[in-house]
Structure 1
Amino acid sequence: MSNLRPLAIALGISLLTLVAAPDAHAAPKKKAAARAPAVSAQCSDFYEATNATWLKTNPVPQTGATTALGQLADRTRQQQRALLDGAMTAPQGNVQKLLGDFWASGLDEAAVEADGSNPIAPLLTRINAIKKAKDVPASIAALHQVGIPVAFNFAPDVDLKALDRHIGYFMQGGMGLPDPAFYTRTDADTVALMGRYRNYVKQVLALTGTPADKLDAESQSVIALETELARNAQSLAGINNPFNNYAPISTKELNSRYRNLQLEAFLKAQGVNDDLVSLSDPALFKQLDGMVTRLKPEQWKVYLRWRVGDAMAPYLSKAYRDAEFEFRGRVIRGQTLPPARWEQVLDAINVAAGPMVGREYAAKHLSADDRRKAALVVDKIREVQIDAVKRSTWMSDEAKTEAQAKLAALKIEIGTPLRDLDYTVQPMGRGSFGGNMLIASTWRHREEMKRIGKGNADRRWDVLPQQPALAYDIAQNRLIVTAAVLQSPVFNAKGDTAELFGSYGALVAHELTRAIDAKGALVDAKGELRSWWTPADKTAWTLFGNRVAAQYSGYDYPGVKGAKVNGELTREENLADLAGLELAWEAYKAVEPAAKPAAQQGFFRGWASLWPQQLSPNVAAQRLSSDILAPGRWRTNGPLSNLPSFGATFTCKPGQPMQRVDNDQIKVWR
């Protein structure tokens, strides 16, 4: 029940994630008296020394992963659960009353079972009323209105020529499988997958009213329609490139080009009155326009029934949920067991009404003092970053000027989005969970559509306040700090200043560097898409990245015997870690210039405490080849070994594992 937003992927925010597993570390052997003193634990492996207790308490799992930030995410889910439990029994205000009823309706499995297909009955009735080709576009528009995109996707995203606004993007969609290639490949694995998919389509069609003797024909009809969409679709790599999807067109031109699809009427149904949209694949929409009249209404009716049943399956009775999990859960998502009922309901509410939960979550879990303290750290980091730009020896004068202007213009939003949403939704009761999902999803879609138009681009975030995230939004030049991330191990309000700057401050600095790094340099201070680095700036950054990649490529990958870290794959994140720590340390020293080494140690422990992790062998092997983040051991040790301040604080000597010799140290902003 959500739309694909590739521009948000490419130009948007980067959420904090955690990777990789440390392997066992043998205790150092005692040295003979005549030999040099043993290297201290801190100078040998700071990650292990700092996180020893955590690693012992959290052994390597047989499957999946255990991480410090993952535990933070789990804690926030329990906090959301407690919040919704309270809203269910003793709501404080109208929003909590709506959420409490929503929550109660989902937890009442007996009522959900008794409800059966009733929540989608009105949608199916409308679909079954289709008589002629001209009825199809209105049904497509009506399903989009309730958050069920069919035939194609339509969603707001950044206007690449005016980043301060959103426009609506018409894009490929309407397929039940995540990759269009699945419909056309003929290898054995894909053929087997398609067989399981066909069985799932049959199950959903049966539940939505197809007689047993028509299941084979109707499931084949659905797959034939989706295959036709897939044959004209871009690859996943193509659709994730924002420039492949940007093709502005006047809304007045839509109907003349695609008369059968009635796209002007579609936009009015979504509440969109803008005079500009993007439609990057006219051949695909021409094909779709022809399909409206070429395919029989009966085929469209079967396809639309299937899409409704599939989209709503997780929120309906057990027969729907079991069918959905057996295919999408086991085959597509790789899950072995379905989540607990409360987790399913929480996920559903966050999909349909996440901003409502976020507003209440922040009110409960984020104090004004913590918000103020978090903002002060950001302000200090930004001040230090601007100073670092001014004295940079590698940045050109032109780039320095633009970087300072961009950092000065940076917007900072902490806890929740600055612009609140309209929470006047149709009252939700405790009678029908599926019905509540449709009500909330319709509200969510309406709010999404409001993002389209001038001055609406920053209407809200692409992450929820109740999700732990600290991110730089490149399109809006804004730093986003969610309410949920402002707790340990990221933000310990009761900890000392050194620890706060080493954890939260370093992550803030990591993100702020993104405003003016190689990717940030594609958007200027005015929000215009242009490259403002000189060739010399680009060369300097590339050389930094090359050195960082070489450093990390020499590290063993924990949990995967004989493997090394992929330095090229992880270079940009590793470079941001190093740059962020340089800036956070400078900011901390400015705040506590007289701090003694014993007090300064908390800065580095704060950083290390973010990254302890234990991954199963399978997960470690997967991340080795695909993750852009280095393993936790090296996110800790790698950047710290480049900092003379670390060596001075723990009296590590050059050449020891945690202190690279001066000529090998990589310096970005110091």
Structure 2
Amino acid sequence: MPTLRTALGRPTLIAFALIFALGAPDAEAQRNKRAAVPAVSPQCSDFYAATNADWLKQNPLPAGVGTVSVLGQFRDRTLQQQRQLLDAAMQSPQGNVQKLLGDFWASGLDEAAVEADGSRPIAPLLDRINAIKRAKDVAPAIAALHQVGIPVAFNFSPDVDLQHLDRHIGYFMQGGLGLPDPAYYTRTDADTRELLGRYRTYVKQVLALTGTPANKLDDESALVIDLETRLAQVSKPLLDLRSPFANYAAIPTKDLGKQYRNLQLDAFLKAQGVSDDTVSMADPELFKRLDELVAGLKPDQWKSYLRWRVGDAMAPYLAKPFRDAEFEFRGRVLRGEAAPAPRWQQVLDAINLAAGPMLGKEYAARYVPADHTRRAEQIAAQVRDALGRGIERNTWMSEVAKTEAKAKLDRLKIEVGTPKRDLDYSVQPMGRGSFGGNMLIASTWRHREEMKRIGKGNADRRWDVLPQQPALAYDIAQNRLIVTAAVLQEEIFNAKATQLPPAVLYGAYGALVGHELSRGFDGKGRMVDAKGQLRDWWTPADVAAWTALGGKVAAQYDGYAYPGLKSVNVNGKLTQDENLADLAGIELAWDAFTTAEPQADAAARQSFYQAWAGLWAQQVSETEAAQRAAVDVHAPGHWRANGPLVQQPAFAQAFACKAGQPMQAQEATQIRIWR
């Protein structure tokens, strides 16, 4: 849940070849023989370069910029659309939600008002904390801060019940630390000690801004670090929490009050509006320790910690002294940023964090006509049907697995634009006088709506992405395809350009849909069956066949040089899953296209593949490329475009490519998943 708080030797070789040819007795015959060999067309040599030549020429990489890409420009435009929507809502709101958003936006852009507001927005929270007198007062204060979206001491948020994927439960998890990794508090190397020193300086700054006298800053900051260190010492390493099962252990809620008397977890749940009979608590030892700390530490230590957590969480939305302190540590030190983002972008980020679903509702209404949504749903359904045909005809999947896959596909849902179930938009009026106050109002609302996801039958209440964020996603727990409103824009879904053939929609949007749908039936999708239960429905033979396919794709991409780097190739194993999904996406989209448009001419068929390759145009700096080569699970754009097409006979037919040319693998070695 969002809370307030990615050939020097070359000429010599040429010269040697020329000398060798000219000096041979049959040099003339050799020249004639070479002339008879037809040249490889640009499309059959490097389809990415041929398709994107104009874009690459017109979009050089500016100095100091890590990357420029088609999809990056696409994302930037969606931000500008949101900005334009909020400007209009500020000037002439249409309806209550736009009035809320317009006031929120105006209050954030009015920097003079933000400065005049100072720390007043958090004064009621600080008063609540300062009123703590005894140990029994600590737990209600913790619950109250969670209610406004400021998680302290621990994290609590909704997520799918791994034993019953049709419902969400609340997850009690470790948290409450000001540093992103518990190891920062316990490591003793010099770099970590230096970072901890800079962190303590930041803690002092925030404590001073929230009311700590200068002569008590050393003592209170030490108390904060001590409490967080105690939490870190009983927290698990981040690496151990990568699996969702590491955070899952379902327990009944009825005894929480007795088991954690000092934390008062029964009252905590009631304060969050949660009445479910089950929660997840995978680390009871952590919460046992927290329960002891509530009673064992002096209330003043808790007060210092809670004031610090409030000031830190709200610092980006308050007056300049708060913002400067927060950016200097979190922005410059932790994130490596040279300067803060423009003010409008900071305010937009804040609105998306606290009131994102509100903005998403208005974004979809403003920028995505109903006929675009219907067309997107239609194409997605056609790609789903193509997957059904692919399941039926593929030769690597067992009959047992095919039966389960078809049953799962029959139950797959497609949601386009916005979530099917809307939210309750009743919110306290915001006004334009206090950006920080509006942030708390909106965050309280969003927390309330998040908590409503907990309970039986609520698993599909909303998405884990916002409609205004460009995203296609397969929700493995709910067996549904999610296509956000922001996706239905020019680069991916060019429905406005009526002069373009329908193939363009299938080649870009359809292939991305196929990419995502395939995830329900691959090496990870096999772990959830048609009934939505966690169960491996593949046979050992299916696993072996999929592993073999993955190995072939990994080997293919291992052979590709990483663009912009010397002597570095793509890591085929690291990018294997995404490359398999790209291959599946192209196969399924082509099937859907040719089934829907069987009379498509040669130009239309070519435009299908050009639309795919056009998605991936990018310019990347050497530094950025080196970082991506090491950690990015996606292949670089050059090979996302070309890699899947090498395996497609239909691509070779469309562009008259011959087997063995760079863009067409030999038939005997071609990799196929669903075709």
TM-score after normalising by structure 1:
0.95
Separation of aligned partners in 1, 2:437 and 2:31: 74
* Offset at residue 2 of structure 1 (A): 3.1
Separation of aligned partners in 1, 2:3 and 2:551: 37
Amino acid at match of 2:211: G
Matching residue within 539, 543, 555 for 1:538? 543
Secondary structure, counterpart of 2:165 in structure 1: strand
Q: Equivalent residue for 1:453?
A: 455
Matching residue within 564, 568, 571 for 1:559? 564
Map Cα deviations across residues 390-423 of structure 1 (whole Å, 9 max, x no partner). 1221111111111111111011110000000000
Amino acid at match of 1:528: Q
Q: Equivalent residue for 1:2?
A: 2
Stretch deviating more after TM superposition (306-315 or 195-204): 195-204
Task: Indicate conservation of the 8 Å contact 1:153/1:170, yes or no.
Answer: yes
1:385-400 residue pairs with structure 2 within 5 A?
385-400=387-402
Secondary structure, counterpart of 1:454 in structure 2: coil
Pairing 1:365–2:370 present: no
Stretch deviating more after TM superposition (125-134 or 585-594): 585-594
Map Cα deviations across residues 244-299 of structure 1 (whole Å, 9 max, x no partner). 11111111121221111000000000000001101110111111000001110000
1:518-529 residue pairs with structure 2 within 5 A?
518-529=523-534
Q: Equivalent residue for 1:619?
A: 624
Separation of aligned partners in 2, 1:628 and 1:566: 9
Task: Indicate conservation of the 8 Å contact 2:3/2:354, yes or no.
Answer: no
* Offset at residue 560 of structure 1 (A): 1.7
Secondary structure, counterpart of 2:167 in structure 1: strand
Task: Indicate conservation of the 8 Å contact 1:182/1:194, yes or no.
Answer: yes
Pairing 1:576–2:578 present: no
Task: Indicate conservation of the 8 Å contact 1:4/1:155, yes or no.
Answer: no
Q: Equivalent residue for 2:194?
A: 192
Stretch deviating more after TM superposition (610-619 or 561-570): 610-619
| CA RMSD, Structure 1 to Structure 2 (Å) | 1.5
Separation of aligned partners in 2, 1:554 and 1:107: 51
* Offset at residue 3 of structure 1 (A): 5.0
Cα separation, partners in 2 of 1:417 and 1:408, compared to 1, 3 Å: same
Matching residue within 505, 515, 520 for 2:510? 505
Task: Indicate conservation of the 8 Å contact 1:63/1:618, yes or no.
Answer: no
Separation of aligned partners in 2, 1:203 and 1:663: 67
Matching residue within 400, 403, 406 for 1:401? 403
Task: Indicate conservation of the 8 Å contact 1:506/1:581, yes or no.
Answer: yes
Separation of aligned partners in 1, 2:241 and 2:264: 24
Q: Equivalent residue for 1:515?
A: 520
Map Cα deviations across residues 334-385 of structure 1 (whole Å, 9 max, x no partner). 2111100000000000000000000000000011110111011011111111
Higher RCO (C-alpha 8 Å, min separation 6): 1
Secondary structure, counterpart of 2:639 in structure 1: helix
Amino acid at match of 1:427: P
1:301-316 residue pairs with structure 2 within 5 A?
301-316=303-318
* Offset at residue 4 of structure 1 (A): 11
Q: Equivalent residue for 1:338?
A: 340
Q: Equivalent residue for 1:12?
A: none
Residues paired across the two proteins, number: 647
Pairing 1:585–2:590 present: yes
* Offset at residue 169 of structure 1 (A): 0.4
Pairing 1:417–2:422 present: no
Task: Indicate conservation of the 8 Å contact 2:3/2:353, yes or no.
Answer: no
Q: Equivalent residue for 2:329?
A: 327
Task: Indicate conservation of the 8 Å contact 1:63/1:619, yes or no.
Answer: no
Between structure 1 and structure 2, the one with the greater Rg is 2
Runs of at least 5 residues in structure 1 that lack an aligned partner in the other structure: 6-16, 18-30
Separation of aligned partners in 1, 2:668 and 2:97: 59
Task: Indicate conservation of the 8 Å contact 1:371/1:414, yes or no.
Answer: yes
What percent identity do the matched residue pairs reach? 69
Task: Indicate conservation of the 8 Å contact 1:3/1:153, yes or no.
Answer: no
* Offset at residue 234 of structure 1 (A): 1.1
TM-score after normalising by structure 2:
0.94
Secondary structure, counterpart of 2:168 in structure 1: strand
Q: Equivalent residue for 1:58?
A: 59
Q: Equivalent residue for 2:168?
A: 166
* Offset at residue 32 of structure 1 (A): 7.3
Matching residue within 371, 374, 377 for 1:375? 377
Task: Indicate conservation of the 8 Å contact 2:4/2:149, yes or no.
Answer: no
1:5-24 residue pairs with structure 2 within 5 A?
none
Q: Equivalent residue for 1:219?
A: 221
Separation of aligned partners in 2, 1:596 and 1:427: 57
Secondary structure, counterpart of 2:415 in structure 1: strand
Amino acid at match of 1:157: D
Amino acid at match of 2:412: L
Secondary structure, counterpart of 1:252 in structure 2: coil
Task: Indicate conservation of the 8 Å contact 1:156/1:448, yes or no.
Answer: yes
Separation of aligned partners in 1, 2:621 and 2:178: 31
Matching residue within 628, 640, 645 for 2:645? 640
Separation of aligned partners in 2, 1:616 and 1:209: 46
Matching residue within 73, 81, 85 for 1:83? 85
Map Cα deviations across residues 495-517 of structure 1 (whole Å, 9 max, x no partner). 32111111000000000101111
